[in-house]
Amino acid sequence: MPTLQKIVPCLWFDSQAEEAATFYVSVFERSRISQVARYPAEGQEVHGRKPGSAMVVAFELLGVSFTALNGGPIFKFTEAISLQVMCDAQDEIDRYWGKLTAGGDEKAQQCGWLKDRYGLSWQIVPAIIPELMSDPDPAKAGRLMKTMLAMKKIDIATLKRAHEG
């Protein structure tokens, strides 16, 4: 019997949970929608949703479980929470950045952060960043930070050059 992931992020959407989950699954390899629960006719006076429309969508991205909920327009995503995608190479950064920014908020792009078409914030991060940022030489870390703050999509080669001076 497989071990269940104990903590599963639940993403609240107005009515786009199934659409968003389908999109996210298309962005990340080894990903899938595992279950869709639909609103029944019963309780419609409370939930107000069309019977048969998606209520909860369970999906996995790269083996990590998520839930998408169609809960109505009450809550919106903010930058207070984001999903980090740790990338080993520039082509990976470029691929995820290109897919996740399509239709998103261009004004919300800085330092590897982006906001997708559903308003969810993502960080497309080179896996080498923590190592470079924790360099004991403050000049190296400072040059890296200054360079990174001027970027939208992160460029690993440019960061490495800045780090080395």
- One domain for residues 59 and 89: no
Residue 2's pLDDT is 59
As for how many domains the chain has, the answer is 2
Q: What is the CATH number of the domain that holds 55?
A: 3.30.720.100
Q: Is residue 1 part of a domain?
A: no
d(CA 121, CA 115): 4
Q: Is residue 2 part of a domain?
A: no
Rounded to an integer, the average pLDDT of 19-25 is 98
Residue 156's pLDDT is 97
Return all residues near 150 (Cβ < 8 A) that are at least 6 apart.
none
Q: Is residue 5 part of a domain?
A: no
Of the candidate ranges 11-20, 40-49, 109-118, 155-164, the one whose mean pLDDT is the lowest: 40-49
- One domain for residues 38 and 111: no
The amino acid sitting at 160 is K
Residue 48's pLDDT is 83
Chain segment 32-65, per-residue pLDDT in tens: 999 999 999 888 878 888 899 999 999 999 999 9
Rounded to an integer, the average pLDDT of 129-134 is 92
User: In a 3-state reduction of DSSP, which class is residue 5?
Assistant: coil
Say which DSSP state 145 is in: H
Chain segment 77-131, per-residue pLDDT in tens: 999 999 999 999 999 999 999 999 999 999 999 999 999 999 999 999 999 999 9
d(CA 156, CA 80): 25
Residue 28's pLDDT is 98
**What is the residue range of 102's domain?**
82-164
- One domain for residues 104 and 144: yes
Rounded to an integer, the average pLDDT of 8-37 is 97
Kindly report the pTM of this predicted structure: 0.92
Residue 136 pLDDT exceeds 60: yes
Containing 59, the helix (H) or strand (E) segment is strand 54-61
Residue 1 pLDDT exceeds 90: no
